[in-house]
Amino acid sequence: MATLKELKGRIGSVSSSEKITGAMKMISSAKMHKAEGALKRLAPFRTQIETIISNILGADADFTSPLTVARPVHRMAVVILGSDDGLCGAYNINLAKFLKSHLAELRERFGEGLEVEIHTVGKKMRKACAKFTDARTSLAETTQISSKSEGAQVKDFTTSLEHRFVSGELDRVDVLYMHYLSAGRQRATADLLLPVDAEAFAANGEVKASDRPYIFEPSASEIFRSALPMYLLSTMQEIFCENRASEQAARVMAMQSANDNAKKLLDQLQLEYNKLRQQSITTELLDIVGGQVRD
């Protein structure tokens, strides 16, 4: 049985842990709200790009772009976003499981001979995905990008994928990430980045009849080719923001769970301490009473 001194030390350690997890929860919550703000700021830009592309398609203009060319898929890249830091619960593990099922779907769709490059974003995700490599699946070198990357780094990474797709080195690019729905809800999602499905804009875009006809200067094809890279960049930036928000939301939940467990343990230790202390006092009183009776 533990002594009073040992129990007091344990209570102090658990109390300190509770304070630490509480502080980490507050920090993660602040970072999550910051990522939410970035998502809201990105939304108007992406919406405007989508509107421009939808208007071009809705105006029955001719358009071409190497980014929309669909070809037989023999070699592709899968970009999966995770975290660089730990203490975010099963965030990376859940994404790794989702990657495993996505790879199985891809091989079923395109054949067992499909070659896949896994581009991991985040040190923890790279460790989680290392076990998926085989003769047809490899881990690409992605040290130039991290889950905390913004601006120029995201642009360079997206541009490199575009160039490899246009050159024919890659036939398809998928992106796997946690779609941020709310602070308490995130969903593993797989999006097709390349080739761009141009028909999706025509199907989803709301082009008003009063907006037609258009006079394009320069040509519709040139505007289309210029708008698509901007659309891809805005999409990738939004995905990175969603990943950061989802990671911090997962960390908030993990710290909340740790904080709750620390409180439960603290209550148990306090109860045990009080019982042992009461037992010690009772024993001392009995010794005193016993001594007086003998006298």
Residue predicted with more confidence, 90 or 222: 90
Instruction: Give the up-direction half-sphere exposure of residue 217: CA atoms within 13 A in the CB hemisphere.
Output: 1
pLDDT band of residue 207 (cuts 50, 70, 90) is very low
Per the CB < 8 A criterion, the answer to whether 168 and 69 are in contact is no
Per the CB < 8 A criterion, the answer to whether 92 and 155 are in contact is no
pLDDT band of residue 292 (cuts 50, 70, 90) is low
Per the CB < 8 A criterion, the answer to whether 39 and 242 are in contact is yes
Where helices occur in 122-219 by DSSP H, the ranges are 123-129, 152-166, 198-204
Residue predicted with more confidence, 206 or 15: 15
Encoded tokens for 72: 């037989």
Question: What is the distance between the alpha carbons of residues 20 and 178, in angstroms, rounded to a whole number?
Answer: 27
Domains and CATH numbers, the chain: 4-29+254-290 (1.10.287.80), 33-252 (3.40.1380.10)
Q: Which amino acid is at 71?
A: R
Encoded tokens for 71: 């070809």
Residue 186 has pLDDT above 70, yes or no: yes
What pLDDT is recorded for position 1? Answer: 59
Residue 4 has pLDDT above 80, yes or no: no
CB-based burial of residue 144 (10 Å sphere; 0-12 exposed, 13-18 middle, 19+ buried)? Answer: exposed
pLDDT band of residue 201 (cuts 50, 70, 90) is low
- In the three-class reduction of DSSP (H, G, I as helix; E, B as strand; rest coil), residue 119 is classed as strand
* Residues 130-167 pLDDT 10s: 888 888 999 988 888 898 888 889 999 999 999 999 99
What pLDDT is recorded for position 65? Answer: 82
> How far are the Cα atoms of 102, 108, 116 from residue 138, in angstroms, in the given order?
15, 18, 6
Question: What is the distance between the alpha carbons of residues 66 and 196, in angstroms, rounded to a whole number?
Answer: 9
Question: What is the distance between the alpha carbons of residues 199 and 265, in angstroms, rounded to a whole number?
Answer: 57
Percent of the chain predicted with pLDDT > 70: 89
Encoded tokens for 101: 């099922």
Question: With left for phi above 0 and alpha for psi between -120 and 50, is residue 151 left, alpha or beta?
Answer: left
Residue predicted with more confidence, 208 or 135: 135
What pLDDT is recorded for position 210? Answer: 39
What pLDDT is recorded for position 269? Answer: 77
Residue predicted with more confidence, 253 or 206: 253
* Residues 56-108 pLDDT 10s: 776 666 677 888 888 999 999 999 999 998 888 889 999 999 999 999 999 99
Per the CB < 8 A criterion, the answer to whether 107 and 114 are in contact is yes
> How far are the Cα atoms of 2, 122, 162 from residue 69, in angstroms, in the given order?
71, 30, 12
CB-based burial of residue 287 (10 Å sphere; 0-12 exposed, 13-18 middle, 19+ buried)? Answer: exposed
> CA 115, 119, 120, 126 torsion: positive or negative?
positive
Question: With left for phi above 0 and alpha for psi between -120 and 50, is residue 180 left, alpha or beta?
Answer: beta
Per the CB < 8 A criterion, the answer to whether 147 and 124 are in contact is no
The enclosing H or E element of 193 equals strand 185-194
CB 44: neighbour CB atoms within 10 A?
9
* Residues 275-284 pLDDT 10s: 878 887 888 7
Strands (E), 70-184: 75-81, 115-121, 137-139, 172-182
* Residues 224-263 pLDDT 10s: 888 889 999 999 999 999 999 999 999 888 888 877 777 7
Average predicted confidence (pLDDT) for the chain: 83
Per the CB < 8 A criterion, the answer to whether 216 and 68 are in contact is no
> CA 202, 208, 214, 216 torsion: positive or negative?
negative
